[in-house]
């Protein structure tokens, strides 16, 4: 047992020395970065806040050049609705719905989006052998998800 300990002890010391050298090299490399890490040229790009909770209202302004939306209805409150094939964001103005955006679930792709404004908006999410139509309507200014599976 003493012989095993004599062989193990130098290996353990060598490992500790190597780890200490690695830490010192890392600290030295970080010290070379200095205070320049926060200047505008290297600052990270920030993304706008994206709501992730289902049904959370978020103000969304429509594009001014679309012409189909009356000026009095140019701002919608986006509500996130999730289904089997993906997620849609629907804005409501009275009884009219507007499909603001959509995001297919993993493995799905989106087709045939009907953006509105209309009483019912929809987009079809497709995957090999499966199709879901995510549709929505507005009742008292609240978006309701109407999802159906197609064969």
Q: Looking at the predicted structure, is the pLDDT value of residue 69 above 60?
A: no
> Which whole number is the average pLDDT over 7-33?
84
> Are 81 and 88 within 8 A, CB to CB?
yes
Instruction: Kindly give the pairing relationship between strand 86-93 and strand 75-82.
Output: antiparallel
Q: What are the φ/ψ torsions at residue 63 (nearest 5 degrees)?
A: -70, 135
Q: What are the φ/ψ torsions at residue 19 (nearest 5 degrees)?
A: -65, -40
| Whether this model's pTM surpasses 0.95 | no
Instruction: Kindly give the pairing relationship between strand 57-61 and strand 75-82.
Output: antiparallel
Percentage of the chain beyond pLDDT 70 is 69
> Which whole number is the average pLDDT over 47-59?
45
Per domain, the residue ranges of the chain are 2-38, 57-150
What is the model's pLDDT at position 76?
Answer: 65
Q: Which residue has the higher pLDDT, 111 or 61?
A: 111
């Amino acid at each position: 047992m003493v012989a095993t300990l004599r062989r193990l002890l130098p290996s353990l010391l060598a490992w500790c020395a190597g780890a200490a050298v690695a830490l010192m090299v890392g600290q030295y490399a970080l010290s070379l970065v200095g205070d320049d890490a926060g200047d505008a040229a290297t600052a990270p790009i920030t993304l706008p806040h994206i709501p992730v909770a289902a049904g959370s209202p978020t103000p969304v302004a429509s594009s001014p050049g679309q012409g189909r939306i009356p000026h009095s209805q140019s701002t919608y409150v986006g509500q996130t609705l999730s289904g089997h094939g993906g997620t849609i964001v629907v804005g409501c103005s009275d009884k009219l719905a507007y499909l603001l955006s959509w995001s297919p679930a993993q493995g799905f792709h989106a087709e045939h989006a009907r953006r509105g404004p209309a009483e019912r908006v929809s987009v079809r999410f497709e995957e090999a052998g499966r199709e879901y139509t995510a549709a929505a309507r507005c009742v008292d200014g609240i978006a309701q998800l109407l999802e159906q599976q197609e064969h």
